[in-house]
């Protein structure tokens, strides 16, 4: 199993351009191989045929001159006239070679045949047809012809095939060089041609890659320009047309979504602004009525107290909505050095005051940890997380705030050993008006905006927040960029727009 995984990791994706070029070269190599084999076979067959014609023209005189028994008064010298150098002759009687000679410089020399050579000669059919046989005594292949003699023996005449083999070998070298150069040139030209042909497809891939790198989740998105293409009837043109059509649909959908988000954002901001004044008026009149010097009926007293509590809750909700609207609008934050160590101590003291039945713990480094940001908003982030732990965990729960400074970021974690957050709500926990326990949230005054404010503030500080929760352990981990050098901070602070509180 490990070997399979290693093999899969070792495999690298092969580009279409490389596959097309490789396919073209492979097809050319196959064609060259077929042509080369056919040419070599044809040439070898032709040259062997010429050797057979030469053997037929000699008439077997050299082998016949070895029959001295038939002409006892003749000179015992084989007839080498008109025989090419290297001509081989042999006489077989009753299947055994009695004589064998080789023409050298118009003379003959006896040949001492090996046992394998004798067997090969004995196996030749005396039909006058040419056979290619390897003769060990002569260290090469010979083209042999066997015919019957006058006194019942078999006469064998042969010519060496080395010239044929040398010619064929030279042809193979020439073909290998020519075909190799042709394949190299074809590979280079094919790669250039494939690159040129796939250039429109590369533009399509580049545009699609640009879209994948765009933040399409929120905000206004400027879609890339349509992919240019010359002919919609080609495969690349069809892909480009489909991509342009898809980009158009995506752009329209994103524009409508952004317009809807802007309307909702403006509505929330406008409604919050409009509600601020009447809520403040209600709270003021309620406080005034509660401070009336005369006695109030119990029912009236209770109603006024409920009005005051409700108006205070509505005022907090309006403030939270206004804060989210400002963060959504991208208004700049204050960029001041913030001591997170002091911030953790202050918010922990407030949490201990609000709930003495929880165990509040701090895990802080010895040296202060400083980041760049808005102290008021970061204080609200930590206060919201501690309030969330206080309201949604039972008494006796241990709540720990830990702070760790790294070289490239700072980590702030709020963890508890409570019952945990149900898995079904974890994916939407940072969405607005999300409540894991709606009934209890309303009884305790929760609006479902606390964690969404935390997420928006940390995002505005260019940080991240993650949640890890299971039964007996819940951790909110915040990662913030480190504090910038004093000179850099001063420059950015002077160039930035006025921050909001």
Which residue in 299, 298, 304, 270 sits closest to 286, CA to CA?
A: 304
CATH 3.40.50.300 fits 332-495, yes or no: no
Closest CA to 77 of 105, 55, 54, 109: 109
Tell me how far apart the alpha carbons of residues 99 and 113 are, in angstroms, rounded to a whole number.
9
Structure tokens at 5: 């995984």
Domain ranges of the chain: 14-56+165-197, 59-160, 213-330, 332-495
H/E element, 88: strand 88-93
Q: Are strands 336-339 and 130-135 parallel, antiparallel or unpaired?
A: unpaired
pLDDT attached to residue 378: 92
The CATH number fitting domain 213-330, selected from 1.10.287.130, 1.10.3720.10, 3.30.200.20, 1.10.260.40: 1.10.287.130
Q: Tokens for 222?
A: 């400027």
Chain centroid to CA 112: 71
| Concatenated DSSP letters of 362-411 | EE--SS--EEEE-HHHHHHHHHHHHHHHHHHS-TT-EEEEEEEE-SS-EE
Burial of 73 per CB tally in 10 Å (0-12, 13-18, 19+): exposed
User: Which residues, 6 or more positions from 140, have their beta carbon under 8 angstroms from its beta carbon?
Assistant: 134, 160, 161, 162
Dist CA 498 CA 479 (whole Å): 25
Handedness of CA 209, 212, 215, 221 (dihedral sign): positive
- 3 state SS of 82: coil
pLDDT, position 80 = 65
Q: What are the residues whose beta carbons fall under 8 Å from the beta carbon of 255, sequence distance 6 or more? A: 220
pLDDT the model gives residue 67: 64
pTM (predicted TM-score): 0.50
Q: What is the pLDDT of residue 359?
A: 93
Give the pLDDT score at 401.
Answer: 93
H or E element at residue 196? helix 162-197
CA distance 328 to 335: 18
The set of residues, in sequence order, having a beta carbon less than 8 Å from that of 486 and lying 6+ positions away, is none
Architecture (CATH level 2) of domain 59-160: 2-Layer Sandwich (3.30)
| The CA-based dihedral angle spanning residues 419, 420, 425, 428, taken in that order and rounded to the nearest 10 degrees | 140
Q: CA 195 from chain center: how many Å?
A: 21
246 Cβ contact partners less than 8 Å away, ≥ 6 residues apart: none
What is the mean pLDDT, run by run of 10 residues, along the chain of 501 residues? 54 75 88 91 90 80 65 54 78 83 77 87 86 87 86 85 91 91 90 82 79 71 73 76 82 79 70 73 79 78 82 76 73 84 92 91 90 90 91 92 90 92 84 62 60 87 91 92 57 43 45
With beta carbons less than 8 A apart as the criterion, state whether 70 and 151 touch: yes
């Amino acid at each position: 199993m490990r070997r399979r995984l290693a093999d899969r990791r070792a495999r690298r994706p092969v580009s279409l351009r490389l596959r097309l070029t490789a396919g073209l070269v492979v097809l050319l190599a196959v064609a060259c191989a077929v042509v080369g084999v056919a040419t070599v076979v044809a040439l070898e067959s032709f040259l062997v045929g010429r050797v057979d014609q030469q053997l037929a023209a000699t008439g077997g005189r050299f082998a016949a001159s070895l029959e001295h028994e038939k002409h006892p008064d003749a000179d015992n010298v084989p007839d080498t006239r008109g025989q090419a150098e290297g001509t081989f002759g042999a006489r077989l009687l009753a299947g055994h070679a009695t004589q064998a000679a080789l023409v050298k410089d118009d003379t003959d020399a006896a040949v001492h045949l090996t046992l394998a050579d004798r067997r090969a000669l004995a196996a030749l059919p005396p039909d006058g047809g040419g056979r290619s046989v390897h003769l060990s005594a002569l260290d090469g292949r010979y083209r042999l012809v066997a015919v019957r003699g006058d006194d019942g023996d078999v006469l064998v005449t042969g010519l060496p095939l080395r010239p044929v083999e040398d010619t064929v070998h030279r042809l193979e070298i020439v073909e290998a060089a020519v075909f190799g150069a042709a394949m190299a040139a074809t590979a280079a030209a094919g790669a250039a041609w494939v690159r040129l042909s796939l250039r429109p497809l590369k533009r399509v891939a580049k545009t699609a890659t640009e879209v994948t790198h765009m933040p399409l989740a929120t905000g206004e998105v400027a879609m890339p320009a349509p992919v240019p293409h010359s002919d919609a009837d080609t495969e690349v043109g069809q892909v480009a047309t489909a991509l342009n059509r898809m980009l158009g649909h995506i752009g329209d959908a994103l524009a409508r979504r952004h317009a809807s988000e802007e309307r909702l954002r403006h509505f929330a901001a406008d409604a919050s602004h409009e509600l601020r004044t009447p809520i403040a008026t209600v709270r003021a009149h309620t406080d005034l009525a509660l401070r009336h010097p005369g006695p109030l009926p119990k029912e009236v007293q209770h109603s006024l107290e409920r009005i005051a509590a409700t108006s205070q809750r509505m005022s907090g909700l309006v403030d939270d909505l206004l804060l989210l609207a400002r963060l959504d609008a991208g208004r700049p934050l204050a960029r001041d050095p913030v001591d997170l160590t002091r911030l953790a101590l202050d918010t922990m003291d407030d949490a201990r005051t609000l709930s003495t039945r929880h165990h509040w713990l701090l895990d802080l480094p010895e040296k202060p940890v400083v980041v760049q940001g808005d102290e008021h908003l970061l204080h609200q982030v930590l206060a919201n997380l501690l309030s969330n732990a206080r309201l949604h965990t039972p008494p006796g729960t241990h709540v720990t705030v830990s702070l760790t400074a790294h070289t490239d970021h700072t980590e702030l974690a709020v963890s508890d050993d409570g019952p945990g957050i149900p898995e079904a709500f974890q994916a939407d926990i940072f969405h607005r008006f999300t409540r894991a326990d709606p009934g209890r949230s309303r009884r305790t005054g929760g609006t479902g905006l606390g964690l969404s404010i935390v997420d928006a503030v940390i995002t505005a500080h260019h940080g991240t927040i993650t949640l890890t929760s299971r039964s007996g352990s819940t951790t909110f981990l915040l990662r913030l960029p480190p504090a910038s050098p004093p000179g850099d901070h001063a420059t950015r602070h002077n160039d930035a727009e006025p921050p909001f509180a």
